[in-house]
Amino acid sequence: MKNIIAAAILLGTMAVSAQKKEDSLQFAEISTEILNKGKSYTELRELTKNIGHRLSGSDSYEKAVQWAEQKLRDAGADKVWLQEVMIPVWVRGKESLQIKTSNGKWKNLKMLSLGNSEGTGGKDVSGEIIMVRSMDEYEKLSPQQVKDKIVFFNYPFSQSYIETFKGYSDAAKYRTTAATLTAKKGGKFAIIRSLSSAFDDVPHTGAMRYGDDKKIPAVAIGSTTADELATLLTSQKVTAKLNSNCGMKGERLSHSVIGEITGKNDQSVIVVGGHLDSWDVGEGAHDDGAGIVQSIEVLRTFRNLGIKNNHTIRVVCFANEENGVKGGVQYGKMVKENNEKHLFAIETDAGGFTPRGISLDMDNEKRKQIQSWSELFLPYGIYDFKNTYSGTDLYPLHDLGIPAAELVPDSQRYFDIHHTEEDTFEKVNRRELLLGAVAMTQLIYMIDKNW
């Protein structure tokens, strides 16, 4: 009996070893194909240079829809369609922010209105600036102290976190709530220190939201301007003057773009995607043109290598992630209404830098299974499987119980350029971008084979 058991164990071990070898060889094939023949980099150049930024509701976003539809067909999708989505239309328009100090002269500051902010209607709005360095400091101010003032939330992006997304999450509440907090106590508008890991003068935009109070403007300034303003405020009274034309202009019918290769065994769906929109500054290269071209690369690689997928592999180029998540919500609604079975979904929306890991937002059994494949990923620099979040567009799917994930690139440079004019094609490295596509294709291969 002992000999039989020993033999069974040996055979099992040999089978596992053979399987690992087969998977390792397939991983190498995927890597070789993408690093040598991948089109992500050239397609990103097309998207960013020929179309540029892709703010939801803009004509450039609609051009991006047509572009993505064609690229999915070229990549080998056997079915491509546009999913209707009603998206909010926000426009920036001309804007300026000035300060006047004790010398009586006005000085222009580099600034950006926050996304979804209302403006001043093209009129000058001015008042004295008061500065707070934290939410606690603001809460201690009385309405009398804030009334008719401009509140400057000077909360710095924490440099202490090694994972810079933690620093971003820590500071994000100031961007999203500054206008509402200021309005509650009668302030005229809010200024925030940009959510930036860099020590430069580049302002960062990004979405904010309103509560039930009066909708007042909110703007962001860069780190060095914030430091200079803080120094001035310690010694003198400073007046600010804002003139802006931004605001919401209703809704517009638009689309997410979807393409897939149908599964040979069943039509259970594996989703890989990114968001097609971007903010209206820069070119949306890392955020999230990189994610779009990497997702399309997954589909192309399956086709080019002749990998016969068991389940349907579907690329979703989500609409309106930046200032509404309408594309993700609409996709989740479709899945629920159609009772469409989804096995897994991954989004890439953290830049096109060198991939370091995959975050797993799912139950422990599924997470441990993917973690058990870590040895296969290690030669490609993928080692971090400890995080438990997934992409913003995927939260409606996660709410339906679908295992979700996100590619985790190196984040050290991402928040230097995030939501700024600096997010351009030139900031993307070809090999780093392609390695992200390699990691996602390898993961989708394993999910398709084992789930």
What CATH number is associated with residue 118? 3.50.30.30
Residue labelled with tokens 């020929």? 50
CB neighbour class for 94 (10 Å; exposed up to 12, middle 13-18, buried from 19): exposed
Domain extent for 386: 24-88+250-450
Q: Are residues 278 and 353 in the same domain?
A: yes
The CA distance from 296 to 3, in Å, is 51
The CA distance from 277 to 99, in Å, is 33
Q: Are residues 407 and 298 in the same domain?
A: yes
Q: Is 3 a domain residue?
A: no
Q: Which residues contact 154 (CB under 8 A, 6 or more apart)?
A: 131, 132, 133, 193, 226, 229, 230
Residue 16: pLDDT band (50, 70, 90) is low
Q: Is 382 a domain residue?
A: yes
Residue 19: pLDDT band (50, 70, 90) is confident
Q: Is 421 a domain residue?
A: yes
Could you give the percent of the chain with pLDDT greater than 70? 96
Give the residue from 247, 275, 309 where a domain finishes.
Answer: 247
Mean pLDDT of 41-48: 98
Backbone φ and ψ for 266, nearest 5 degrees, come out as: -155, 175
Report which of 169, 245, 179, 257 is spatially closest to residue 217, judged by C-alpha positions: 179
Q: For residue 29, what are its two tokens?
A: 């094939």
Cα dihedral sign, 336-339-340-341: positive
The CA distance from 244 to 88, in Å, is 19
Q: Are residues 330 and 438 in the same domain?
A: yes
- pLDDT of 356 higher than 80: yes
Question: Average pLDDT, whole number, for the chain?
Answer: 96
- What is the predicted pLDDT for the residue at 102? 83
Number of domains in the chain: 2
- What is the predicted pLDDT for the residue at 13? 61
- pLDDT of 123 higher than 80: yes
Residue 267: pLDDT band (50, 70, 90) is confident
The CA distance from 184 to 165, in Å, is 29
The CA distance from 195 to 169, in Å, is 9
Q: Are residues 294 and 434 in the same domain?
A: yes
pLDDT in tens, 398-425: 999 999 999 999 999 999 999 999 999 9
Residue 281: pLDDT band (50, 70, 90) is very high
Give the residue from 189, 222, 247 where a domain finishes.
Answer: 247
DSSP-assigned letter for residue 340: -
The secondary structure of 402-413 as a DSSP string is --EEEEEE--TT
Mean pLDDT of 131-144: 97
Q: Is 226 a domain residue?
A: yes
Q: Is 10 a domain residue?
A: no
What CATH number is associated with residue 264? 3.40.630.10
The CA distance from 168 to 198, in Å, is 12
Distance linking the first and last C-alpha atoms of the chain:
34
Mean pLDDT of 200-223: 96
Mean pLDDT of 125-137: 97
pLDDT in tens, 294-337: 999 999 999 999 999 999 999 999 999 999 999 999 999 999 99
Q: Are residues 280 and 398 in the same domain?
A: yes
Give the residue from 247, 265, 291 where a domain finishes.
Answer: 247
Bridge pairing between strands 404-409 and 342-347:
parallel
Mean pLDDT of 172-195: 97
Mean pLDDT of 184-193: 98
- What is the predicted pLDDT for the residue at 17? 75
- What is the predicted pLDDT for the residue at 306? 97
Q: Are 379 and 23 in contact (CB under 8 A)?
A: no
Q: Are residues 180 and 279 in the same domain?
A: no
- pLDDT of 5 higher than 90: no
Q: Are residues 308 and 378 in the same domain?
A: yes
- pLDDT of 25 higher than 70: yes
Mean pLDDT of 129-149: 97
- pLDDT of 7 higher than 60: no
- What is the predicted pLDDT for the residue at 6? 55
Q: Are residues 213 and 281 in the same domain?
A: no
Q: Are residues 83 and 99 in the same domain?
A: no
